[in-house]
Chains A and B, each alone.
Chain A
């Protein structure tokens, strides 16, 4: 099947994909810093004019969500699978 072959071909070039991904991340922040390309007239707060503000926001949102959830799981939300069965 061609779809499987495509996926496998992509998996074989994993390190290249990772490098491309990192380049893309850098590009996103760089582009964000060019007022000519990204018009920040409509930004709602002053913070948003910092180049790469939303990158930081996205990354820290992700980290925050994972750590807070894991913490809540540890202090009691997570129980063994047969919790309700006895």
Chain B
């Protein structure tokens, strides 16, 4: 380290630490300044390796800024600016502190050049993000937060175990591609840690569970950082690992299926994160240059449109106090701008031509076709019909149109939100359209040279047919898609319901064992032993005497009393001591001679 290098995460951490000291007058300015400084720092950082520290026998690298890291850091920092702008009027400063530490963690992961630094920031993300759930203050949020924390702790432990096992055989802890042909136990454990954060089924249930219960602005942060840093880590470590292709396809379809059943708008969006991250995981599995470009581009576009969608549904939640379709409907008269921005988010995620998803998602699918992976490519295309069905149609329709299920107070409160939330959504929408219209903005940032053109006549025709015929299906099946008040059971059942079964068996087995031990040892054995050791010599003699008396039939009552008296007073005849000494010496000499 020859020159002073400031880690962007450091700006956020210092900013969060100083937050309680900032006077109320300059609060809004300060809140915007810190993420803007971070964005400027990330944007201005030339590619290279910075922040190398030698700690014990390890070389830690805090700042590996190459093309992939720079791209992810750029979009994460941009999202931090938008998220903070959106949350600007939130009263609790702790929410900003939690969000900033969380963003700092994700930037730390992205710039980490070795596995230990990666782990450090990885855990920082988990520990800070849980506060964005808890701060909503509901009883359900507290429980969901604890579940979130427990699942992520398990994932973190798995990652750490993997790093430790891996470090035994590796020359250095540098975070580079693992040998995807022979992962070894360490590699697999690290992979599981990454997959948990990428929300790959069955390790995904924390995501809808937590994001559905977070604060209205907390979800905007949550939806961007955890899964995308996991995708980044997968690109770095496991590009070309074939199992990821199928895991990604399963994810893409899984999220779509659950989105049909979901009644809560924010949980529906959360399931679509799983679906969209599925494209990225599949792209990492394909591993070609086009696929990795597609993954990076899609992560970039996804952070913006998913943030925008969570902002729209968050605004509805903030203004009306409701997020369920069965409590909403017909709101276009009250919240028209929120509708428009959410629709733009919906069209972007659905890959409508001229919107961001169109130029990013298709790259991954095209990479699948080019690698002759026809099944995965067709199934990913099928999932994209589902994306439009839910996020592009179901969410806007059942919140802003459809049957008006609003209670009078919900309807009364409903209105477009404050200027800062509108501004954040407007900027997000503008970026979604800009990326879709002016492709070089995104394509020039990608790690490999881009020869891909999404705007061919065939691709436009294909997309428009899929999307508009899905729309036809939506309106024909509208009755089937009517929301109903219900919950869809997911793998979190295992630790929500399953925990009770576990506890019951635990209760029977361990507490039963405990009670049995208490009866046997504490209640029986210990009193008996203590009675015995009051006068051990006497007891032994009496026991011997009883045996002899039984054999010989002599009167033992008198002798017993004499023995007990003697042992209590410790007055034994000298002859007994001499006899014992002679016996002992005899035994020792026998041992010595033979």
Where the two chains meet, the residues of A that have a C-beta atom closer than 8 Å to any C-beta of B are 1, 3-4, 7, 21, 24-25, 28-29, 31-32, 37-40, 42-45, 52, 54-59, 61-70, 72-73, 76-81, 83-84
Contacts and interface: CB of A to CB of B under 8 A. Distances in A.
Contact of A7 (B336, B477, B486): B336
B467 A58 contact: yes
A4 B497 CA distance: 46
13 contacts: A1-B336, A24-B468, A25-B469, A55-B469, A56-B469, A59-B472, A61-B466, A62-B386, A62-B473, A65-B385, A66-B260, A67-B480, A77-B489
Given A55-B465, A76-B489, 12 more contacts: A21-B471, A38-B457, A39-B457, A42-B456, A54-B466, A58-B468, A59-B469, A62-B385, A69-B258, A78-B489, A83-B489, A84-B487
Contact of A70 (B336, B382, B458, B480): B480
A62 B465 contact: no
B146 interface: no
A3 to B, nearest CB: 4
Contact of A3 (B337, B467, B469, B471): B337
A45 B462 CA distance: 13
B257 to A, nearest CB: 5
A79 B486 contact: yes
Nearest to B368: A44
B150 to A, nearest CB: 16
B177 interface: no
Contacts of A42: 456, 458
A36 B590 CA distance: 114
A21 B476 CA distance: 13
Given A4-B336, A28-B468, A66-B473, A61 B462 contact: no
B473 A73 contact: no
Given A58-B470, A81-B486, A84-B497, A69 B461 contact: no
Contact of A80 (B260, B468, B473, B486): B486
B485 interface: yes
Contacts of B474: 62
Contacts of A38: 457-458, 461
B205 interface: no
Given A45-B374, A65-B256, A76-B489, A31 B470 contact: no
A26 B233 CA distance: 45
A59 B258 CA distance: 19
B369 interface: yes
B469 A58 contact: yes
B488 A78 contact: yes
B261 A69 contact: yes
A28 B465 contact: yes
Given A57-B381, A70-B480, A62 B470 contact: yes
A64 B461 CA distance: 22
Given A59-B473, A79-B489, A83-B487, A69 B260 contact: yes
Question: For A39, A59, A61, A79, which residue has the most chain B Cβ atoms within 10 angstroms?
Answer: A61
B262 to A, nearest CB: 10
Contacts of B486: 73, 78-81
Contact of B456 (A28, A39, A55, A78): A39
CB-based closest 9 A-B pairs: A62-B473, A69-B260, A58-B466, A61-B385, A58-B469, A54-B465, A59-B469, A3-B336, A55-B465
Contact of A54 (B377, B462, B485): B462
A39 B457 CA distance: 7
Contacts of A39: 456-458
Interface string B380-405: 01100110010000000000000000
